[in-house]
Structure 1
Amino acid sequence: MGLFGTSGIRGPVGEVVTGELALSVGRAVATGDVDRIVVGRDPRESGEWLLEAASAGARECGADVLDAGLVATPTLARAVGREGADAGIVVTASHNPPEDNGLKLWNPSGQAFDAAQAERIESRIEAGEFELGGWDDGGERTVLEDAKDRHVEELVEAVGGPGSLEGLSVVVDLGNGAGGVTVTALERLGCDVEAMNAEPDGSFPNRPSEPTAENCEALCERVAETDADLGIAHDGDADRMMAVDERGRFVPKDVLLALFAREAAREGTRVAVPVDTSLVVEDELAKIGASVTHTKVGDVHVAERATEPDVVFGGEPSGAWIWPDETLCPDGPLAACKLAATVTKTPLSERVDGVVSPHLRRDNIETEHKAAVMERVAATVPETYPDADLLTIDGVRVGFEDGWFLLRASGTQPLVRLTAESREEERAEELREIALELVEEAQRSV
């Protein structure tokens, strides 16, 4: 079936994501030794009935449902373990457009279902193997009223307690999503907070849900024209967070990852990042004797690696940030609070300007034979570059002393994605050309 992508199930409502699918997911999650499930959703209108369907499926198989309602994804993920539940289901398409929706599944640890767990759920759905209950043994539904309050309490304690950020001015662009806990937490920390696009609305009328530089132009302008110390932006379910410095500049994604990584790491520790992450993270960590460990692309894979004892932080340039001592879920509100705490010590612009970014190149190569092309590339590279540092956990990453390139098949489109980087601009372009030639040669042979 191929239901699960790198971050749960997502797709157009009525085509990929239907009430029937949500019912089946609820049934599949509740089948087995599962007694309690926490459920919730982002502001998309379709989320109301999709959540009802998923809840009905879970209850039909005997599981009690704790309904947190409209909440941020990290709010729900944290609640699973806290409430003694066996699993969590959040109905969200995260940063996708409003016509999409999806379902993401959570463990009590706060970690999303891994590949093996997702495969079991998918197999149950495909085979229709559900443990349906009888007329008198269905699960109960209870409203979970304090999930947001408990999340806020945890955020405040994570960065120093009430009033610890007194005097800081922050503009928060919620993007009409579910991340209101960020505003509440920052206010309790003592910040002067201005909220933009604060009314939850799953049609995302004021800006697209994904917090990119282009989509955050209004936030940049607002921070620049005020005396704010920081700008924060979330996506629809607030698992992502991006930032704007006090001068109104959107902080580049890889630079923000490098800043978070260096703040969290210490000598001898590691930071989990996907294979397409810039060298800027390695360079910043090297200054303090720390290092990176590469994973497949996707916050699920980053979270898995973050369970290892010497991994103190995990992140993706997309805006997913994981502090394993707090939770294994990407927690945008936690990232916002932690960044605010660092800004009280040093202005964000000063920290950003202190980071030297290498030269990065990205391309998308269209091909209807992406799997075959990548097989050919994987077979060719070891012979062509026997002395290179090869990593094949997700595509083919070829590392040299002065740079690297990565070729990997898109998970959703007929594309091979190319990333090349070097600390020298000319070498970055040379690596890009080498990678392009590898793909073109593979296409000819296919």
Structure 2
Amino acid sequence: MGKYFGTDGFRGEANVELTPMHAYQVGRYLGWYYGQKHTDGARCQIAIGKDTRRSSYMLEDALSAGLTASGADVYLLHVTPTPSVAYVVRTEGFDAGIMISASHNPFYDNGIKLLNGNGEKMEESVIEAIEAWIDGTPAELPLARRENIGRTTDFSAGRHRYIGHLISLATRSFKNVKVALDCANGSASSIAKNVFDALGATTIVIHAEPNGTNINLGCGSTHIENLIEIVKREHCDIGFAFDGDADRCLAVDENGELVDGDRILYICGKYMKQRGELANNRIVTTIMSNLGLYKALEREGIAYEKTKVGDKYVYEEMQRSGDRLGGEQSGHIIFAKYATTGDGMVTALKLMEVLMETKAPLSRLAGEVTIYPQRLKNVAVRDKAAAETNAAVLAAVKREEAALAGDGRVLLRASGTEPVIRVMVEASSEALCDETVERLVGVLAAEGLTLES
């Protein structure tokens, strides 16, 4: 990860870590970079979307100023999901796309996500060049003059095309299906109900009244309890919860039970295999996926790959291997046939397809995966690298894994953003998870690696 950009863009508290000047500089560099690639004299064109945070308007204006000052034309999608920007960039021939969002973070944070002309996360070489420009290398970039100065254009039509694309994915009408939608007071508020209504569902929508400060506030995929309550109270057949920029989706079955990204991967993967649509007969997961998922996939004869945490790494592996399905426990699911990023709406629609085609309730489909109890503890350490390579710690991990005898697992990994080591244990019982985690934390402390030791 770079100085400003992490695995999911440039993110921080608005007007503290991420300021309008940062946004202006990002725009200035991108407008110049893509502009000078147009040797035929054509103008650089970049699409911008945003979520519902109060600061998104400020950052949108700053990005637009930088881009147009460098000679780029800017097309504003307004409030829209991250995957819609990727879709529009890919299908409408834009040079690049920008999404202003901090995903599931609170409203006072914001972020800038960059997408290349294929709708994929921006290449690291370009990110590094932007960071160097922010820090003053090169000192100046040429400003566009006269007729070469760019302009902004309302492009809400692009968002409508994305909605049309989503509706086209459905294989059947959703008539007589009662669906609850938690839009997190974010980007899904502008599209989710429209899509499900158009497909004939009876929809109950909550948290779709954004005011600039209520995005993710006690709602959405990070507060699934709200959706669970609605599904049970209103006797819904299924519920979907999105995050702030709608690139992730979690589900709730008709009994009010959570169906997370691991179970969604299993349900869709098994269905795709039965239809001959699962390329390489394999699913891409991350190291945080539950052991229960892997046991269920093995039972069905489906192979899997594990990547580092982050849908960026999942997509890179899918690109490399040609796999068609991948994702994370958190609900970032990538269907390579339809999207280049995690797409909460596509995930919801593909899960609906399985339900409609199999005529099975979600509880029965999800019940085929036995989720192992999991305990995750963040341990503040003096030196993450030293903690990860300490001989006594590594020996303790090996010892605990041997004791679990294939009926559990241990994972120690350094946080990418905090001075902590994440100690994760999966086992057959909550008590065993707790005991194993505490023993491992004890070894870290005994070795003098924790801040408390």
SS in structure 2 opposite 1:271? strand
Structure 1: distance between partners of 2:119 and 2:204: 30
Q: Corresponding residue for 2:230? A: 222
Q: Corresponding residue for 2:410? A: 405
Q: Shift of the alpha carbon at 1:82? A: 1.4
Q: Shift of the alpha carbon at 1:353? A: 2.3
Q: Corresponding residue for 2:303? A: 291
Distance 1:251 1:380, change over 3 A: closer
Q: Shift of the alpha carbon at 1:359? A: 3.1
Percent identity between the two aligned chains: 32
Q: Corresponding residue for 2:41? A: none
Structure 1: distance between partners of 2:5 and 2:404: 30
Structure 1: distance between partners of 2:405 and 2:303: 17
Q: Corresponding residue for 1:141? A: 152
Structure 2: distance between partners of 1:332 and 1:135: 41
Q: Corresponding residue for 2:134? A: 125
Q: Corresponding residue for 1:98? A: 107
Q: Shift of the alpha carbon at 1:401? A: 3.8
SS in structure 2 opposite 1:31? helix
Q: Corresponding residue for 2:361? A: 347
SS in structure 2 opposite 1:97? coil
Q: Corresponding residue for 1:392? A: none
Q: Shift of the alpha carbon at 1:440? A: 3.3
- Deviation string for 1:324-354 (max 9, x for gaps)? 1111111111111112222222111112222
SS in structure 2 opposite 1:232? strand
Report whether the alignment pairs 1:356 with 2:370: yes
Query: Is the CA contact 2:46–2:73 (under 8 Å) kept in the aligned structure 1?
Result: yes
SS in structure 1 opposite 2:184? coil
Structure 2: distance between partners of 1:335 and 1:267: 18
Q: How many residues align?
A: 433
Q: Shift of the alpha carbon at 1:77? A: 1.5
Q: Shift of the alpha carbon at 1:159? A: 2.6
Q: Corresponding residue for 2:39? A: none
Q: Shift of the alpha carbon at 1:145? A: 2.3
SS in structure 2 opposite 1:419? strand
Q: 1:272 aligned to 279, 284, 288, which one?
A: 284
Q: Shift of the alpha carbon at 1:156? A: 1.9
Name the aligned partner's letter for residue 369 of structure 1. D
Distance 1:346 1:375, change over 3 A: same
Distance 1:443 1:256, change over 3 A: farther
Q: Corresponding residue for 2:388? A: 374
Q: 1:338 aligned to 346, 350, 354, which one?
A: 350
- Deviation string for 1:108-165 (max 9, x for gaps)? 32222244442232223223436332322222222112122211221122232xx622
Q: 1:181 aligned to 191, 207, 219, which one?
A: 191
SS in structure 2 opposite 1:33? helix
Structure 2: distance between partners of 1:126 and 1:399: 49
Unaligned regions of 5+ residues in structure 2, if any?
36-43
Q: Corresponding residue for 1:46? A: 55
Name the aligned partner's letter for residue 231 of structure 2. V
Structure 2: distance between partners of 1:116 and 1:434: 42
Distance 1:166 1:36, change over 3 A: same
Query: Is the CA contact 1:32–1:131 (under 8 Å) kept in the aligned structure 2?
Result: no
SS in structure 1 opposite 2:305? strand
Distance 1:444 1:144, change over 3 A: closer
- Deviation string for 1:352-408 (max 9, x for gaps)? 22221223221111223223322436x97389859x99xxxxxxxx99744321111
- Deviation string for 1:197-227 (max 9, x for gaps)? 2223331178435513xx2323212211223
Query: Is the CA contact 1:13–1:100 (under 8 Å) kept in the aligned structure 2?
Result: yes
Of the structure 1 ranges 350-359 and 232-241, higher mean CA displacement relative to structure 2 is found in: 350-359
Structure 2: distance between partners of 1:149 and 1:267: 31
Structure 1: distance between partners of 2:285 and 2:212: 30
- Deviation string for 1:55-101 (max 9, x for gaps)? 11111112221111111111111111112111111111111001111
Query: Is the CA contact 1:275–1:295 (under 8 Å) kept in the aligned structure 2?
Result: yes
SS in structure 1 opposite 2:378? strand
Query: Is the CA contact 1:407–1:435 (under 8 Å) kept in the aligned structure 2?
Result: no
Root mean square deviation, CA, Å:
2.9
* TM-score calculated relative to the size of structure 1: 0.88
Structure 2: distance between partners of 1:310 and 1:31: 33
Q: Corresponding residue for 2:324? A: 312
Report whether the alignment pairs 1:154 with 2:159: no
Query: Is the CA contact 1:258–1:280 (under 8 Å) kept in the aligned structure 2?
Result: no
Unaligned regions of 5+ residues in structure 1, if any?
390-397
Structure 2: distance between partners of 1:106 and 1:400: 43
* TM-score calculated relative to the size of structure 2: 0.87
Distance 1:399 1:210, change over 3 A: farther
Report whether the alignment pairs 1:324 with 2:336: yes
Q: Corresponding residue for 1:302? A: 314
Question: Greater share of helix residues, 1 or 2?
Answer: 2
Q: Corresponding residue for 2:120? A: 111
Query: Is the CA contact 1:420–1:431 (under 8 Å) kept in the aligned structure 2?
Result: yes
Distance 1:431 1:384, change over 3 A: closer
Query: Is the CA contact 1:42–1:237 (under 8 Å) kept in the aligned structure 2?
Result: yes
Query: Is the CA contact 1:90–1:103 (under 8 Å) kept in the aligned structure 2?
Result: yes
Q: 1:198 aligned to 186, 205, 208, which one?
A: 208
Q: Corresponding residue for 1:33? A: 34
Q: Corresponding residue for 2:448? A: 443
Structure 1: distance between partners of 2:136 and 2:390: 34
Structure 2: distance between partners of 1:116 and 1:399: 43
Structure 2: distance between partners of 1:399 and 1:313: 30
